[in-house]
């Protein structure tokens, strides 16, 4: 992940403030998530990517977001329990964020600028939009329709 992305502050689901500095030299998959979405089963595929590639340098980060159909209404504890019990999620989940509008988290503002969507749109259209960030800061964007498993070849290429 590039230096400017590494300095962006975030809050973990447990409320701890940190930056992404610990991700230096790693490939990172950032996903805006939700517990009550038609794409919620993708948590399983995200966990599989985390388990398969984390030792080789991939970090998967889930950012719960309630901006789309109010599909993430729960508290941090609710989200954590839901993800762990239903999908065995062990990859890092960050605090609930907004990804669009004036309250958008700075990470998503930067990711949308680096990897705009269809026709140059910077708006994220729904939950489970994915951003794959190389160690060089290059960002690839994938729609919610792209299942986590479909990213394996790109992840392999980033990890070498």
Catalytic residues: 37
Q: Which of 1, 42, 3, 16 is nearest to 128 (CA)?
A: 42
Of 97, 102, 120, 103, nearest to 30 by C-alpha is 97
**For the chain, first and last CA: distance in Å?**
15
Comparing CA positions, the residue from 52, 58, 49 lying closest to residue 26 is 58
Count of Cβ atoms closer than 10 Å to residue 147 Cβ: 16
Residue 128: closest CA among 48, 40, 50, 60: 40
Closest CA to 46 of 87, 8, 106: 87
Q: At what angle do helices 76-87 and 42-53 cross, to 10 degrees?
A: 80
């Amino acid at each position: 992940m590039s230096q400017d992305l590494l300095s962006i502050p975030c809050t973990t689901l447990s409320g701890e403030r940190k930056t992404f500095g610990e991700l230096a030299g790693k490939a990172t998959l950032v996903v805006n998530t939700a517990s009550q979405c038609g794409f919620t089963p993708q948590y399983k595929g995200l966990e599989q990517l985390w388990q398969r590639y984390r030792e080789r340098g991939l970090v998967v980060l889930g950012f719960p977001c309630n901006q789309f159909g109010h599909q993430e209404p729960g508290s941090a504890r609710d989200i954590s329990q839901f993800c762990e019990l239903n999908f065995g999620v062990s990859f890092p989940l960050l605090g609930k964020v907004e990804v669009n509008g004036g309250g958008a988290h700075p990470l998503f503002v930067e990711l949308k600028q680096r990897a705009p969507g269809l026709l140059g749109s910077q708006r994220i259209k729904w939950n489970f939009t994915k951003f794959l960030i190389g160690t060089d800061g290059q960002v690839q964007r994938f729609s919610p329709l792209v299942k986590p498993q479909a990213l394996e070849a790109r992840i392999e290429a980033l990890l070498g």
